[in-house]
Amino acid sequence: MTNHIEFPTNTSDYLPHLQSLGWSDYFDRQLAAINAKQSRVVRVVSVRRNLFLVTDGHNEWLCSPAGKLLHAPDRDYPVTGDWVLVDDTQVTSVIPRKTLLSRGEAGSRFNRTTSARREQAIAANIDTVFIVCGLDRDFNVRRLERYMTLVHNCGVSPVVVLTKSDLHEDPDSFWLDVENIAFGVPVVLTSMLDGRGKNELERYLRQGQTVAMIGSSGAGKSTLANMLYGKDIQSTSEVSDSVGKGRHTTTVRELIRMPQGGMLMDNPGIREIAFYESGHGVESAFADIQDLASMCRFADCSHQQELGCAVLHAVETGELSSSRLESYHKMKREMQYLVERSTKSADRIEKERWKGITRQIRTINKRRKR
């Protein structure tokens, strides 16, 4: 680690190094708006307590946060992937982000009255998210729906990566199960044994691109990183005979420069997929239901009991599974609660929820009489 860095005097002197880290015209415009000509631009590689490992594409060193950052809102505190301004060994400010991958704090998903009161940032300025799922006990299409909704909500492009395909004689059947719920989202089968899926994933790691991996503990994220890099760069544990899955090894979020030219970030396993704010994630993750809804008899159809509901008809005919519709309703309720929570108290939300249920029952009964 270098204690003193000799910086070039002009931004243009080190701009090519920044571009190799993901710098783009978007950040050029953000920097121009800040008008911080005397500061140096670097990217946060990892966050370690109140220290940041940063790089300018040529050197890496540790920085501490300026006093104003210590008192800034959680959302404004630097995270892995951020572009920041530094004064020698101190981070002074964060350049406005292009994207922020985040979720609700752990423990909030199942408590309606305190749902996601705090945001937990995962990474900033991510272009693509690999949702990693092992073809073992980790495989769960309902959980994948939540992951896709979360990623879409954050305005990032998801890719579902199915690892450990060598564990099954017919891994393509799992691929087909995911294809049936991942509308418009690439689904890639991978295997460490024969390198299956590597070529498909490498195109997301071209120079200037940043990829983050998320998934359950033991899903195979570190093994996938090693396969894509071409050698062991992340520590992994052998698959446990008792539970049939790898044990968690990643503890720090860190950007890794890949031989393909881009950046890759591994993440500790996520046990709980809680949403922090509303967005269009549900509509994107459930595009098939959205398409069916456009054919419903009533524009405000709730897809629960109404006559002329194209969604319910699809369930009856087997075109749509009841479990997928139930998952859709559940996440729609969560998103609605997040919208209401931002302006109303929990007690008021609960009262209005029951009023809405009563009103909905009356509406359904009236339509049945038509």
Q: If you average pLDDT over each of 98-112, 239-253, 350-364, which comes out highest?
A: 98-112
Q: Which residue has the tokens 């990183």?
A: 225
The per-residue pLDDT for 347 is 58
123 close to 253: Cβ distance less than 8 angstroms: yes
pLDDT tens for 211-246 read 999 998 888 999 999 999 998 877 665 544 434 444
325 close to 339: Cβ distance less than 8 angstroms: no
Q: Is 24 helix (H, G, I), strand (E, B) or coil?
A: coil
- Rounded to two decimals, the pTM is 0.83
Which pairs count as long-range contacts for 11-19, CB under 8 Å and 24+ apart, including other chains? 11/41, 14/56, 14/57, 14/58, 16/57, 17/56, 17/57, 17/58, 18/43, 18/56, 18/57, 19/207, 19/208
Every domain of the chain with CATH number 3.40.50.300 lies at 100-266
- CA separation, residue 90 to residues 40, 64, 67, 343 (Å): 10, 5, 10, 37
The per-residue pLDDT for 264 is 97
Distance, CA of 227 to CA of 105 (rounded, Å): 31
Q: List, as one string, the DSSP characters of 236-267.
A: --PBPTTTSSBPP---S-EEEE-TTBSEEEE-
The per-residue pLDDT for 241 is 43
- pLDDT at residue 36 greater than cutoff 90: no
Looking at domain 100-266, its CATH architecture is 3-Layer(aba) Sandwich (3.40)
Give the CATH number of domain 11-94; options: 2.30.30.140, 3.40.228.10, 3.30.70.600, 3.30.160.270.
Answer: 2.30.30.140
| φ/ψ of residue 8, rounded to 5 | -60, 150
Rounded mean pLDDT, 79-86:
96
Q: What token pair was written down for 79?
A: 């995270």
- pLDDT at residue 43 greater than cutoff 50: yes
**Considering Cα of 239, then 241, then 244, then 249, what sign does the dihedral take?**
negative
pLDDT tens for 253-275 read 899 999 999 999 988 888 788 88
- The closest alpha carbon to 81, from 273, 322, 254, belongs to 254
163 close to 134: Cβ distance less than 8 angstroms: yes
Q: If you average pLDDT over each of 73-77, 213-217, 245-249, which comes out highest?
A: 213-217
Every domain of the chain with CATH number 1.10.40.50 lies at 286-369
Every domain of the chain with CATH number 2.30.30.140 lies at 11-94
Distance, CA of 131 to CA of 187 (rounded, Å): 9
The per-residue pLDDT for 243 is 41
- pLDDT at residue 3 greater than cutoff 50: no
201 — pLDDT class (breaks 50, 70, 90)? very high
More confident residue, 52 or 242: 52
The third-level CATH classification (topology) of the domain covering 286-369 is: Ribonucleotide Reductase Protein R1; domain 1 (1.10.40)
The per-residue pLDDT for 236 is 61
